[in-house]
Structure 1
Amino acid sequence: MTEIKLYKSRWKGIKLIALTLPFVIIGFWMISKEQNGTFDCIMAWICVSFFGIGILIGIFNLLDNSARIIINENGILDRTLKQGIIKWEQIIEAYPLDIQNQKFIAIVVDETFEFKKRQYKWAENLNKLVGAQKLNLNLSQIEINENKLSDLINKIANSEKNERLNFIRTFISNQKLETNFNYQNFIIYFFVLIGLAMVSLSNFIAFMTIIISMGISALIVKWYSGTNNKTKLYKYARIMTYLGFINLVILLLFFEIYDSISNNVGTKFTNEIETYKSEYGKYPNEINSIREKLNLNLFQNYIANKIAYKNDGNDYKLELETLKHNQKEFDKDQQEWN
């Protein structure tokens, strides 16, 4: 039987993991640095627990291979509603609905439809308040245009039985074309995100410009939230908000990793310089020979090349230009750049 099968969007699962994973990594990073029982350690565990739930939900969406909504010649089956199949002869009307940026299609049915699962009175009142029906297809986890799907439902509900199959086949064909286009969009977003990260690291003004743009975009999204008047401005503002937020999280994570690696490199240089003094009775005049002994990896070597060594005979200094384009001196006692 020719059917339209709508699944949970794998891309939405990936986006959810992408948004929550950096916070989980940062949380574990803080846990490894802080002592057990301290306020920072407790907050880190709360961060890991909260955002870890998002990762689990994202993984579940990726592994869930069962169709959430099935549309065929007989009617519509939404397995989350637990109401059985909604026959075309029972559907009076369908219309798209946006509730706090969550997509739904409200289904108006006639008196012949028997509800297998009764709603509570407060739920019925809430549905009336937001303009919903007793039957509402939840599309929040499905990558599909709710207006086109509601148009299809109305067309089939008002057509003859022998015409339904043609509507379904046409919709399936068009939906495949749209899906391919979405894949191209996400590839573009990936490269845009790389560009934003590189520009943000280039200078502070560029970073602040991106942050301000993200804030303005978030206000635009909030302004249009809950309305059906979703313009192109809303669409691009939403994209910019997501990309800006992910960019900010990536930068914070990158700075944490950079600080940890640079502290490790500084510690290695300090230990080797002190070893040199204990052997020769003086500090080395340069550190190129010392760096060759350390067997640094690619990232460590990149940081080592940016370290300036100063020796006045009695003492020495290690200075580093950080990603924020300021100079820091290595504290030999604290084993970190200050």
Structure 2
Amino acid sequence: MTELKLYKSNSKGLKILALCLPFVLIGFWMISEKQNGTFDYYMGWFITSFFGLGIPISIFTLFDNRPQIIINENGIWDRTTKQTEIKWEQIKESYLIDIYNQKFISIVVDETFVFKKNTFSKLNKLNKYIGAQELNLNLSQIKIDENKLTDFINTIRISEKSIRNNQIQNFNSSLTLNPVSNSQKYFTYLLILICMLVASLSNFYAFWVIMITMRIGGLIAKWYRGTDNNSNLRKYAERLAYLGFTNMVLIVLIFKTYDYATNKIGIKLTNKIETYKTEFGNYPNEIKTISENLNFNPIEKYIVSKIVYKKTEKEYILELKFLNHNLKEFDTELNEWN
């Protein structure tokens, strides 16, 4: 017997992971950098704990290999409905609905279908209010054309049992003819994200253009449905909003990491410069020799190469242009760049 098995898309797990992981890292950074007892310290624990809950959920979603929907010549079964298999002869009608941007196929069954448990009357009233049924196939995590699947269900339910296997095979073949694989899509998204990051770091105005575009994309994804409730404009606007949000979070992480690294470099350099003065009675004329003796890693060496050292008669100045293109001096009292 031919079976068509539909699985959850791992994109849902990746979205959850991409949303939670940056905030968890920010929380860890706040915990490690802020003093115990301060508001920022406790906020770091709150952020880490709250968004950390999403990581096991995303991992479970990514590695959940159980089929959600199984279609065969006898009927259709959806694991999320908690019901038995629905026979094709029991289906009177099926139609596609959209509930808060989540796609469902509502199944109208006859009186021969016996529910495993009685649903709450309030839930039934809510289903009727939004146009749903007691049986609704959740397609929000399945990568498939919802309209084609709905048409297929309506076609096969009235077909003879002898031809259903062929219909399932043909429909399954049409699903595998997708010219663009998931890996190709993710690679494309990664390239777009890298370009957005480079543009954001290179130009302040480019960053705000991306932010505004992300906001517009988010509004379109939330409110625009199109004539057939399956608009390509809305689909791409949603992806643009996700990419823009990811770009924003990564920019924040990069800035925080850069601030931490530059402060660490500044402290090491000033300590070495002060040691040099103690030994030789004056400040060094340049810091290249000093920095070479500090065993910086390649990234730190690159940052050090961008530091401008200025020596006066009684003091010295360390200047560095930051990622936001602001020129800052290292404050030896506060041990940070201002």
TM-score, with length taken from structure 1: 0.96
Q: Give 1:38 shift.
A: 2.2
Once residues 95 and 108 of structure 1 are traced to their aligned partners in structure 2, the CA distance between those partners, rounded to angstroms, is 9
Give the aligned partner of residue 269 of structure 1.
Answer: 269
Residue 298 of structure 1 corresponds to 298
C-alpha deviation, 1:133, in angstroms:
0.4
The one-character-per-residue Cα deviations of 1:17-39 (angstroms, maximum 9, x if unpaired) are: 11211111011111111122322
CA contact (8 A) 2:225 2:231 kept: no
Residue in 2 that maps onto 1:159: 159
Q: State whether residues 103 and 138 of structure 1, in contact with CA within 8 Å, keep that contact through their aligned partners in structure 2.
A: yes
Residue pair 1:101, 1:225 contacting (<8 A) in 2 also: no
Aligned positions of 1:148-297 closer than 5 A: 148-178=148-178, 180-224=180-224, 229-297=229-297
Tell me the alpha carbon deviations over residues 160-218 of structure 1, each in whole angstroms, 9 at most, x when there is no partner.
10111111111211222338434322211110000000001111111111111111111
CA distance, structure 1, for counterparts of residue 113 and residue 153 of structure 2: 17
On the 8 A contact 2:310/2:316 being kept in 1, the answer is yes
Match of 2:166, as an amino acid? N
**Stretch of structure 1 that moved more, 36-45 or 144-153:** 36-45
1:49-83 CA deviation, whole Å, 9 max, x = no partner? 22112212110111212111111111111122121
Answer yes or no: is the 8 Å Cα contact 1:102–1:140 preserved in 2.
yes
Equivalences for residues 7-156 of structure 1 within 5 A: 7-156=7-156
1:330 aligned residue: 330
How far is the alpha carbon of 1:15 from its aligned partner?
2.1
What's the offset of the Cα at 1:227? 8.7
Deviation at 1:225, TM superposition (A): 6.0
Could you tell me which runs of 5 or more consecutive residues in structure 2 were left unpaired when the two chains were aligned. none
Note the C-alpha offset of 1:5: 1.1
Displacement of 1:226 in angstroms is 11
Q: Deviations over 1:257-311 (max 9, x none)?
A: 1111111111111111111111111110001111111111111111111100011
> Does the CA-based 8 Å contact 2:23-2:47 persist in structure 1?
yes
- Rounded Cα–Cα distance in structure 2 between residues aligned with 1:307 and 1:252: 22
Rounded Cα–Cα distance in structure 2 between residues aligned with 1:217 and 1:11: 19
1:309 aligns with 2:309: yes
**Taking structure 1 as reference, are residues 244 and 128 closer, same or farther at Cα in structure 2, changes over 3 Å only?**
same
Measure the CA separation in 2 of the matches of 1:191 and 1:238: 17
Decide whether aligned partners of structure 1 residues 143 and 13 sit closer, same or farther in structure 2, where only a CA change above 3 A counts. same
Q: Any idea what SS the aligned residue of 1:194 has?
A: helix
Note the aligned Cα RMSD (angstroms): 1.6
* 3-state SS, counterpart of residue 141 of structure 2: coil
Q: Structure 1 stretches of 5 or more lacking a match?
A: none
The worse-fitting range, judged by mean Cα deviation, of 89-98 and 317-326 is 89-98
- Conserved 8 A contact 1:14-1:58: yes
**CA, structure 1 residues 184+226, in 2 after alignment: closer, same or farther (shift >3 Å)?**
same
Do 1:98 and 1:227's aligned partners in 2 also have CA atoms closer than 8 Å? no
Structure-1 separation of matches of 2:39 and 2:126: 41
Alpha carbons of 1:30 and 1:225: their partners in 2 closer, same or farther (altered >3 Å)? Answer: farther
Q: Distance in 2 between matches of 1:150 and 1:270?
A: 69
User: What displacement does 1:143 show?
Assistant: 1.6
Contact kept in structure 2, 1:98 and 1:228, CA below 8 Å: no
Aligned-pair distance for 1:228?
5.3
What SS does the aligned partner of 1:144 have?
A: coil
The number of aligned residues is 338
